[in-house]
Amino acid sequence: MSRPTALTAAAALALGAGLAVLPTQAQAATVVVSNATDLSNAIKNATAGTVIQVRGGTYYPTATLQSTANGTSSSPVTLTAYGSETVKIDGSNLPDGDWILKLTADYWNVSHLTFQNSPDSAVVCQSCTGTNWNDVKTINGGDSGFTLTGDGTVNNTVKNLDSYGNYDAANHGENADGVAVKYGSGTGNVITGARLYNNSDDGIDFWSFSSPVTVEHTWSFGNGENRWGDAAFAGDGNGYKLGGDGEVVAHVVNNSAAWDNAGNGFTENSNTGAIVINRTTAYANGNWGYYFATGAAKLGRNLAVSNGSGKATYGSSVTSYMNNWDSGVATPSFVSTDATTAYSARASNGSLPATTFLTTGSTTIGATMN
């Protein structure tokens, strides 16, 4: 029998075979870039599965790097440093009010990059789904370092972020947070392993975000201090600002710490939802360790020490159990109150540095600081 010949799609359909020969999908490209123009084009023109590798050095884009190109859950777009090289993307040459990176896109993986000196927010992910951010730094920007915003903000993970030194001069420090999850909605968003410090406003701010966000293994410290000599300084300085603008939402914070913030360590900020705060530590904050005056928060196994206004203040709708301000619960001693090692380099896998600062050895109360 002779070998059958291939049919074109049109011929196959004409014969009623019900078959169409489709072209093989082209393999997604790996793009290696080494200048700001190529970086901008690679981000803008990415398609599902594209891998963008950025060679080491400092890049000075002259316009916001942005994309609306979606990856997929099985073929995300990847934006990362080349190998182990150090990449800094610097916003010093951007026009006033510009961001460094804006994604309005789904399924991107962004890792091992530093975004610094932005005129406004450094990184903004707007109405994104399924993005993953790992070992990213947002430093010395003109508004919040890292922002998730918009409706349809779903299943995004921010892991091992360092965000510090952000200050909005035009508003005298009133708006610049380490992480802002604001003005939007969407479930499944997680912040884990972050260090949010020395920002002019709050470490983390969930103002006007109407869906629960989970925070875990995160440190927020030194926020709200006037480090910029601003005579009209207006930063709030909360470690964790968990609401506002009338939204009622049950955010969750697990195994995290707040210290040396000018305001409260942890606060509902008028959010009357059933916020869950579990095994956290508030140390040496300027106001309360925990401020939950109007909501229905659930506070469990938390540790407050040496806060300016006291350990905690909360209303009658709050559930408080096994915290060190509850009857019969002892306050364990800290191994160390020297925060020096909290600023150390991260581990090789990007996790928080090893420290004995604010550790107690307790298996039941307070953050484990890892």
Q: What residues act catalytically?
A: 241
The DSSP element (H or E) to which 192 belongs, if any, is strand 189-192
DSSP 225-274: ---S--TT------SEE---TT-----EEES-EEES-SS-SEE-TT--S-
Among 221, 252, 251, 253, CA closest to 237: 221
Give the three-class secondary structure for 39. Answer: helix
Q: What span, in angstroms and rounded, lies between the C-alpha atoms of 118 and 143?
A: 8
Among 146, 195, 192, 194, CA closest to 166: 146
Tokens read off for 48: 């599902």
Q: What span, in angstroms and rounded, lies between the C-alpha atoms of 262 and 236?
A: 7
Q: What span, in angstroms and rounded, lies between the C-alpha atoms of 185 and 114?
A: 27
Name residue, tokens 């093989």.
24
Q: What is the dihedral of CA 164, 170, 171, 176, to 10 degrees?
A: -20
Q: What span, in angstroms and rounded, lies between the C-alpha atoms of 305 and 325?
A: 10
Kindly give the residue spans of alpha helices, DSSP state H, lying in the chain: 9-14, 36-44
